[in-house]
C-alpha cells in the first residue's frame, strides 16, 4: 500500500494510527477535511480482510462524510474511525443503534451518524470489560485530537460503546438516551431522505406518482426496511432482497404485493428504480451492464466501483444516478439539528431538503454536461473552497 500516495488521492488531512497494548485496541482515525468545521463520522468495527482494507475504507468513508456535509449545507468536515481485531469471544450478532453529545473546544461539538445501510448480520462486540477497555482507550486517543474529530455510531458499534468513549472524551455523540438512539430515529431519517430522493428522481423523469412503480430494494437492514415502508405506503411495487432470509420473509408478509429476488442478482431485476441499501461497491463494470432500471437511488455508501468507468456506462445507457452521499445525508442532517435543539418534526422538514439539493445536482449536470456524480462533487468542492457551508 502506497500510503502517502493514497492519502493524496483521497485528499486526506490526517491519519492517526491508534495502538493500546493494555486493552488490545488497534484502530485508525481518518480525518479528511476540517475546512468547514470539525471532522465528523462514525466509528466502525468490522472484520476486514487486511489492515490495508481497513485504512482504505476509513479514508473513503471520511471523504464521503466531508462531501455529504458540504452539499447539505452543514458546518462539518469528514472523518471516520475504524476498529479491528476485536477478539471473537467479545462478539455477538446484533444490529447497531444510533445516538448524541456536546462539549467545548476550538470546534463546536456536533455529531454524526453514518447510515446503517448494511443488510448483513453484523458481528458486534458484546458488553463486557474487554470491549469497554478498547473503546475507553479509543476515547483517550480522540481526546488528544482536541475536537478535530468527533465520533459516533457506525456499523458494528453500539450506543454502549459510545458511552465508554464518553468516559474519556467529550468528542463523541450517539450515547444512550439521545434522540438518535431511540427507536432507530437516525435510520428512519436516512430512509426518509432516500425516499425523498427517489420521488425527486422520478419527477425528474416526468413521473409524478409512485403508484404501481416497480422498485428493487437491495438490503433490508434498518434503513432499507424503513425505506420499504415509505415506498409501500406510496403505492410502489416492491422487489426485495437480503442475505438474511428472515428479513425477506418479514418484508413479504408486511408489504402486500412484494416479491423477492436473489440478493446477488437483484440489480438485474426488471424495475424502474434500483435502490442499493446494503454495503458499497455494488455498481461494478459488470453489474452496470445488467441493470434494467432507469434510476439508481439508494442508501448504500460508496456505490460506485471503478467510478469513472461505471459513471460513463450509466450515462451511455441513459440511467439516472442519484449520488449516494446526497441521498443518504438524512442521518447527519438529523444529528446536526438535534444538537441545535430541534425536535423530530423540524428535523424531518430539514431532511426533506434533500429533494432541493438533488434537484440542484441534476440541474448542474444538465447545464454543464456533467455526470450527476461529477455534478455533486462540483457542488461539494465549491462549498469547501468557499469555506462557507451556506454558500
C-alpha cell at position 250: 418479514
For the chain, state the CA radius of gyration: 20
Nearest residue to 35 via CA among 16, 51, 14, 18 = 14
- Residue 323 corresponds to which cell in the numbers above? 449520488
- Provide the total of helices (H) and of strands (E) in the chain, helices listed first: 14, 14
* Cα–Cα dist 149/172, whole Å: 9
Q: From the candidates 80, 110, 272, 350, which is the catalytic residue?
A: 80
CA distances from 383 to 31, 78, 311, 321, 326 (A): 18, 14, 23, 22, 14
- Residues present in the chain in total: 391
Q: b/e per residue, 55-73, with b = 16+ CB within 10 A?
A: bbbbbbbbbbbbbbbbbbb
Find cell 427507536 and name the residue.
Answer: 183
- Outline where DSSP puts E strands in the chain: 14-20, 25-33, 39-40, 43-45, 77-83, 91-94, 122-125, 149-150, 214-218, 237-241, 259-260, 273-276, 295-296, 320-321
Spatial separation of the C-alpha atoms in residues 320 and 325, rounded to whole Å: 15
Q: Look up 272 and say whether it is catalytic.
A: no
Please name the residues in contact with 389: beta carbons below 8 A apart, sequence gap of 6 or more: 36, 37, 69, 70, 73, 74, 75, 76, 383
- Can you name the residues that pair with 82 across neighbouring β-strands? 28, 44
Q: How far apart are CA 51 and CA 55, in angstroms?
A: 6
- The 8-class DSSP code of residue 368 comes to H
Distance separating alpha carbons of residues 217 and 235, to the nearest angstrom: 15
Catalytically annotated residues: 80
Amino acid at each position: 500500500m502506497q500510503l502517502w500516495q493514497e492519502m493524496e488521492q483521497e485528499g486526506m488531512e490526517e491519519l492517526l494510527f491508534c495502538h493500546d497494548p493494555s486493552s488490545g485496541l488497534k484502530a485508525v482515525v481518518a480525518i479528511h477535511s476540517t475546512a468547514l468545521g470539525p471532522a465528523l463520522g462514525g466509528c466502525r468495527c468490522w472484520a476486514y480482510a487486511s489492515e490495508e482494507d481497513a485504512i482504505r475504507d476509513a479514508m473513503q468513508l471520511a471523504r464521503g462524510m466531508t462531501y455529504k456535509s458540504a452539499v447539505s449545507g452543514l458546518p462539518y468536515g469528514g472523518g471516520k474511525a475504524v476498529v479491528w481485531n476485536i477478539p471473537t469471544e467479545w462478539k455477538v450478532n446484533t444490529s447497531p443503534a444510533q445516538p448524541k453529545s456536546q462539549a467545548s473546544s476550538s470546534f463546536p461539538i456536533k455529531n454524526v451518524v453514518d447510515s446503517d445501510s448494511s443488510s448483513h448480520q453484523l458481528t458486534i462486540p458484546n458488553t463486557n470489560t474487554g470491549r469497554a477497555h478498547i473503546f475507553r482507550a479509543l476515547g483517550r486517543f480522540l481526546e488528544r485530537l482536541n475536537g478535530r474529530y468527533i465520533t459516533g455510531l457506525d456499523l458494528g458499534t453500539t450506543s454502549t460503546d459510545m458511552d465508554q468513549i464518553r468516559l474519556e472524551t467529550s468528542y463523541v455523540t450517539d450515547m444512550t438516551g439521545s434522540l438518535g438512539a431511540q427507536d432507530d430515529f437516525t435510520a428512519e431519517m436516512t430512509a426518509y431522505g432516500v425516499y425523498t430522493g427517489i420521488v425527486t428522481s422520478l419527477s425528474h423523469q416526468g413521473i409524478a406518482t409512485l403508484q404501481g412503480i416497480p422498485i428493487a430494494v437491495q438490503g433490508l437492514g434498518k434503513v432499507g426496511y424503513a425505506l420499504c415502508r415509505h415506498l409501500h405506503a406510496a403505492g410502489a411495487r416492491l422487489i426485495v432482497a437480503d442475505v438474511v432470509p428472515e428479513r425477506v420473509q418479514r418484508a413479504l408478509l408486511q408489504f402486500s404485493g412484494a416479491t423477492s429476488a436473489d440478493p446477488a442478482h437483484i440489480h438485474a431485476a426488471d424495475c424502474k428504480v434500483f435502490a442499493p441499501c446494503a454495503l458499497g461497491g455494488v455498481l461494478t463494470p459488470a453489474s452496470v451492464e445488467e441493470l434494467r432500471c432507469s434510476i439508481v437511488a439508494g442508501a448504500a455508501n460508496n456505490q460506485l466501483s471503478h467510478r469513472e468507468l461505471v459513471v460513463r456506462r450509466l450515462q451511455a445507457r441513459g440511467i439516472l444516478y442519484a449520488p449516494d452521499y446526497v441521498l443518504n445525508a438524512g442521518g447527519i442532517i438529523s444529528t446536526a439539528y438535534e444538537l441545535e435543539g430541534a425536535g423530530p418534526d423540524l428535523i424531518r422538514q430539514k431532511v426533506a431538503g434533500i429533494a432541493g439539493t438533488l434537484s440542484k445536482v441534476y440541474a448542474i449536470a444538465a447545464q454543464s454536461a456533467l455526470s450527476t456524480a461529477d455534478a455533486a462533487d462540483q457542488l461539494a468542492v465549491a462549498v469547501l473552497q468557499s469555506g462557507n457551508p451556506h454558500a
